[in-house]
Amino acid sequence: MKRLGLITIGQSPRDDVVPEIQRFLPTGVRIREAGALDGLSAEEIAAHPPRSPERTLITRLRDGTEVAVDSEFIHERLQGIIEELEDEVDLLGLLCSGSFPRFRCRVPLLVPHVLLRGVLSALLLPGPLGVLVPSPQQVTPAVEELKGWGIAAVGCAVSPYRGETRKALAEKVSFLRENGAAAVLLNCFGYGEELRGFLRESLKVPVIAVRSLFARVLAELL
């Protein structure tokens, strides 16, 4: 039986993410979950706010609450979890598409940020890529990073955890359409199939969800 470790930057279990990922995996895979914020109080988490837009990460606590945390603080916590799990699993996957310094790991580790760069760099589009991120503070860094990869992009913010209204989503659709988005990237693991389907139907363009892309590559590795 294959053993898979899934690590969230928030708190585990991620009941909003892992069941969907599991549907892509071979039968019999045993999943172990862990979170960078597991065991921390609200006060301890609040003590590590993002220090800049580039270091802003948005995630979910066990009770569904959305929080913003600093990527450097999370990186240190993630490295500790990797070291705890690497002797207990055959493969590790990070449930976050943010950019981190290279991790140390003795088993294969799938890093979504690196996966996205490879896939998006291989995709030639007739127009800009629309990118959705959870927080307005993340829009400019996300667009600038994509431009650094040679990908023209336009961005907007949609929280996956706060229950965006249809009116708000319709405004995002209008923004993406008016800016000629030839495809859309859902650049957060919190975005599920419902939003993907809504955008695909509304815009009539490909919608790439980091969650399902990640799951399909995990299935190849397993």
The pLDDT tens digits of the residues spanning 35-60 come to 999 999 999 999 999 999 999 999 99
Same domain, 169 and 196: yes
Does pLDDT of 158 surpass 80? yes
More confident call, 136 vs 165:
136
**Both structure tokens of 130:** 């629309």
Does pLDDT of 167 surpass 90? no
pLDDT one-digit tens code per residue, 12-34: 999 999 999 999 999 999 999 99
Is residue 105 within 8 Å of residue 20, measured between CB atoms?
no
Same domain, 49 and 70: yes
Surface-to-core class of residue 167, CB atoms within 10 Å of its CB (0-12 exposed, 13-18 middle, 19+ buried): exposed
CATH code, 199:
3.40.50.12500
Tell me which residue range forms the domain holding 139. Answer: 116-209
What is the secondary structure of 61-114 as a DSSP string?
A: -TTS-EEEEEHHHHHHHHHHHHHHHTTT-SEEEEE--S--PPPP-SS-EE-HHH
Same domain, 105 and 124: no
Same domain, 126 and 98: no
**Both structure tokens of 19:** 């069941």
**Number of folded domains that form the chain:** 2
CB atoms within 10 A of CB 204: 8
Residue 166 has a pLDDT of: 77
Does pLDDT of 165 surpass 90? no
Using CA atoms, how far residue 124 sits from 22, 121, 145, 150, 179, in Å, is 30, 8, 17, 10, 17
Does pLDDT of 1 surpass 80? no
CA atoms within 13 A on the CB side of 209: 20
Q: Please report where in the chains the tokens 């930057």 appear, as a residue.
A: 9
